[in-house]
Amino acid sequence: MPSERRKTRKDNMKIKAGIEWGKNAESRTPEQWKAEIEKIEDKHTKIQVACIAWWDFFAHRKVSEEWTHLNELRDSWKPDQNADENKVYQTLLDLGYPRKIAKKRSIGRSLV
């Protein structure tokens, strides 16, 4: 029983950390997202991370409130030019994504 309680507490802490991360990520401005993504040196990693961030934080906006800051990078993505998953994973971690979400999002099929 005690291990089950610890697991539950640990899971709750992860959930709270994920919620906190989401709030922090949502509070970033489109200019902040673009500035952080522009720092990425590898072209394919930059494009793939821009697509992930666009999907996670830009895509849900109404047309009248659209954030177009990452559209150029998003539009340059090509299915046959995927970045190295490990680089994408590490870059997402650097941007503050929690490990579990970064791992899931860094897999090519999870791009969109």
Q: What is the 3-state secondary structure (H, E, C) of 27-92?
A: HCCHHHHHHHHHCCCCHHHHHHHHHHHHHHHHCCCCHHHCCCCCHHHHHCCCCCCCCCHHHHHHHH
Average pLDDT (104-111) is: 69
Across the chain, mean pLDDT equals 77
33-37 mean pLDDT: 90
pTM value? 0.70
